[in-house]
Amino acid sequence: MTTDVAKYRFNHVMYRIKDPKASVAFYRDVLGMKLLETHHSDEAKFSLYFFGYEDPASSGVARLARQGVLELTHNHGSENDPACAYDTGNGDKGGYGHIAITVDDLDAACARFDSLGVKFIKRPTDGRMRHIAFIADPDGYRVEILENPTLKGQQA
């Protein structure tokens, strides 16, 4: 029985969401992720939504062979529970910070987010770090937006 750590990969990150309708719309339509898989358990009263870039049909890469997957967990009923408001990190004790999405053009991406009514936590022009932005997902989780310099100036 052996294991080769050189084959290990960072597959996914998971966090909980209050309302899957809002979150699916955000990660799919705003951030452009593909909904790779869903799992629903009526017995355990939760649903899982797996998102990733690279279309599963055309890439042919199975979910467990990928990196860069986002798993969103919905505990059924949270969307109708006024008391449900997840701690999204970044508070006094909050260890969790953010996910980061790389884009081809930061200013163009931010202009598009604005046109879609996305909430900004930090615009590129805020503060000293002009090369990043932070937007908020429907629960308030932070999503950093970074430009991938290898894409800059490529024909869309």
Q: How far apart are CA 48 and CA 7, in angstroms?
A: 26
Choosing from 37, 54, 79, 144, the catalytic residue is 144
Site for a second copy in 86-145 (CB under 8 A): 86-89, 91, 93-105, 107-109, 111-112, 139, 141, 144
Residue 8 interacts with a second copy (CB under 8 A)? Answer: yes
**Which residues is 47 bridged to in the sheet?**
40, 74
- Residue 100 is which amino acid? A
Strand ranges across the sheet with 69-75: 34-41, 46-52, 69-75
- Closer residue to a second copy in complex, CB, 79/105: 105
Cα 26–Cα 21–Cα 133 angle in degrees, nearest 5: 20
- Residue 92 is which amino acid? D
Residue 82 interacts with a second copy (CB under 8 A)? Answer: no
Judge whether 79 counts as a catalytic residue. no
Taking CB under 8 A as the criterion, the residue among 22, 73, 79, 122 binding a second copy is 73
Residue 50 interacts with a second copy (CB under 8 A)? Answer: no
Q: How far apart are CA 63 and CA 34, in angstroms?
A: 11
**Which residues is 143 bridged to in the sheet?**
99, 135
Contact footprint for a second copy (CB under 8 A): 1-17, 31-33, 52-53, 62, 64-71, 73, 85-89, 91, 93-105, 107-109, 111-112, 139, 141, 144, 146-151, 154, 156
* Catalytic residue IDs: 144
